[in-house]
């Protein structure tokens, strides 16, 4: 009987000591353990040991108290990866509560000036947790495009270039869900209302906008160039857009398109195939999309780079006038090479 009493008393003492330790820990858990603002990325699936190593590497102080609070809060069993930021003065209690809740700091993801799904995967991989291969496997799968109502060739047109806030550990599937939502929001009733005038579908607008974007970065000229292509489409003329020949060749470093490039057999080559390509040749800018929706109404069927080499263009209604503009431009190039 005495032995049992001793055991009972020992257990009681242990409970009391643990309780006192907990009270002491909680009492001191409101004091700062972060001396300077810190930021870190904790990979998904990280262990508690990896988390404590990360905290140590970022100078978190009073780690004994942090650990005791973490144990009481059962953080070791619920570590959540993500992007975290903690300001100077953060207490162990606040730190542990945030980590246990997975209270991440959103990141800003930006993409633009993208030509292919491969490039998009690479750009995203520099900003979120998923690596480029994982992203590409998801983005390039025909089933992924089909989920959102696109073909594999059309899919890049679903991504509206911009800056978006999201979680660093956003999965590829969650990312495309988000981008599908952004695509729907982009196509406002005002933009949809302009489709009737263009006689194009949303996807066709994206295809044409990609060509316009590759033709010029001068935003003020985009509606005029879009108007040229609209005119050619309505007359059943081949678009004969140099950027599509470059895309068909697969060499984006080409400075000038030669006759041999225009003869490449590809559905993307608008010299050999009438109408629009099967999908966008790049991710068009918002300015280019709006330029197609608000294309300039004129009678021009041709355009050529200006002889002043400014990056702007001369426009023409007849082939004779266009050839004259082309000669002036070529002569300017020859003079530049000689100088």
How many angstroms separate the most distant Cα atoms in the chain? 116
Q: What is the pTM of this model?
A: 0.86
Residue 18 pLDDT > 70, yes or no? no
Which residue has better confidence, 235 or 25? 235
- Average pLDDT over the chain, rounded to an integer: 91
Per-residue model confidence as pLDDT tens digits over 85-128: 999 999 999 999 999 999 999 999 999 999 999 999 999 999 99
pLDDT over 90, % of the chain = 83
H or E element that contains 84: strand 82-86
Joined tokens for residue 8: 């009972």
Q: Residue 152: inside a domain, yes or no?
A: yes
Same domain assignment for residues 206 and 272: yes
Residues contacting residue 129 through CB under 8 Å, at least 6 positions apart: 41, 43, 44, 81, 168, 169, 170
Residue at which a domain ends, from 37, 71, 101:
101
CA–CA distance, 285 with 219 (Å, rounded to integer): 10
**Residues 254 and 246 sit within 8 Å (Cβ to Cβ):** yes
Per-residue model confidence as pLDDT tens digits over 74-85: 999 999 999 999
If you average pLDDT over residues 15-23, what whole number do you get? 45
Lowest mean pLDDT among 138-147, 242-251, 306-315, 328-337: 328-337
Q: In the structure, what pLDDT confidence band is assigned to residue 291 with cuts at 50, 70 and 90?
A: very high
CA–CA distance, 157 with 314 (Å, rounded to integer): 29
Residue 27, pLDDT score:
54
**Residues 83 and 32 sit within 8 Å (Cβ to Cβ):** no
Q: Residue 307: inside a domain, yes or no?
A: no
Same domain assignment for residues 229 and 273: yes
Parent domain of 261: 190-298
Residue 260, pLDDT score:
92
Residue at which a domain ends, from 186, 203, 232:
186
Q: Residue 15: inside a domain, yes or no?
A: no
Q: Residue 20: inside a domain, yes or no?
A: no
Residue 7 pLDDT > 80, yes or no? no
SS3 313: strand
Per-residue model confidence as pLDDT tens digits over 196-209: 999 999 999 999 99
Residue at which a domain ends, from 68, 101, 134:
101
- Phi, psi dihedral angles at 162 (to 5 degrees): -175, -170
Residue 333 is classified by DSSP as H
CA–CA distance, 96 with 309 (Å, rounded to integer): 61
Closest C-alpha to 304, from 257, 262, 267 = 257
Pairing state of beta strands 302-305 and 313-316?
Answer: antiparallel
Residues contacting residue 64 through CB under 8 Å, at least 6 positions apart: none
Same domain assignment for residues 116 and 97: no
Same domain assignment for residues 289 and 202: yes
Residue 186, pLDDT score:
98
Residue 254, pLDDT score:
86
- Angle, in degrees to the nearest 10, between helices 286-293 and 222-234: 50
- Angle, in degrees to the nearest 10, between helices 286-293 and 189-198: 50
Per-residue model confidence as pLDDT tens digits over 230-284: 999 999 999 999 999 999 998 888 888 888 999 999 999 999 999 999 999 999 9
Number of domains composing the chain: 3
Cβ burial, residue 258 (10 Å; 0-12/13-18/19+): exposed
Q: Residue 264: inside a domain, yes or no?
A: yes
């Amino acid at each position: 009987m005495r032995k049992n009493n001793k055991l009972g008393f020992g257990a009681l003492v242990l409970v009391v000591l643990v309780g006192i330790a907990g009270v002491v820990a909680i009492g001191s858990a409101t004091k700062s353990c972060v001396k300077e603002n810190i930021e870190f990325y904790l990979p998904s699936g990280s262990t508690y040991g990896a988390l404590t190593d990360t905290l140590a590497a970022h100078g978190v102080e009073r780690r004994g108290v942090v650990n005791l609070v973490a144990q009481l809060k059962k953080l070791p069993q619920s570590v959540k990866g993500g992007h975290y930021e903690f300001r100077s003065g953060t207490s162990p209690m606040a730190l542990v509560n945030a980590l246990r809740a997975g209270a991440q700091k959103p990141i800003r993801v930006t993409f633009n000036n993208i030509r292919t799904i491969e490039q998009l995967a690479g750009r995203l991989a520099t900003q979120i947790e998923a690596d480029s291969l994982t992203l590409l496997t998801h983005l390039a799968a025909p089933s992924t495009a089909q989920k959102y109502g696109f073909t594999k060739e059309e899919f890049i047109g679903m991504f509206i270039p911009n800056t978006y806030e999201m979680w660093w550990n956003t999965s590829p599937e969650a990312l495309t869900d988000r981008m599908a939502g952004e695509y729907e929001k982009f196509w406002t009733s005002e933009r949809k209302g302009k489709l009737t005038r263009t006689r194009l579908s949303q996807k066709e607008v994206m295809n044409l906008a990609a060509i316009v974007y590759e033709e010029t970065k001068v935003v003020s000229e985009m509606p005029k160039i879009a108007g040229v292509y609209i005119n050619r489409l309505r007359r059943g003329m081949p678009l004969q857009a140099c950027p599509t020949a470059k895309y068909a060749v697969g060499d984006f470093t080409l400075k000038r398109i030669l006759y041999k490039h225009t003869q490449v057999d590809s559905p993307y080559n608008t010299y050999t195939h009438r109408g629009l390509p099967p999908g966008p040749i790049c991710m068009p800018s918002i300015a280019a999309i709006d330029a197609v929706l608000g294309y300039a109404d004129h009678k021009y069927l041709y355009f050529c780079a200006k002889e002043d080499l400014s990056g702007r263009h001369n426009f023409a209604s007849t082939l004779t006038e266009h050839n004259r503009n082309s000669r002036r431009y070529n002569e300017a190039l020859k003079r530049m090479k000689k100088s």
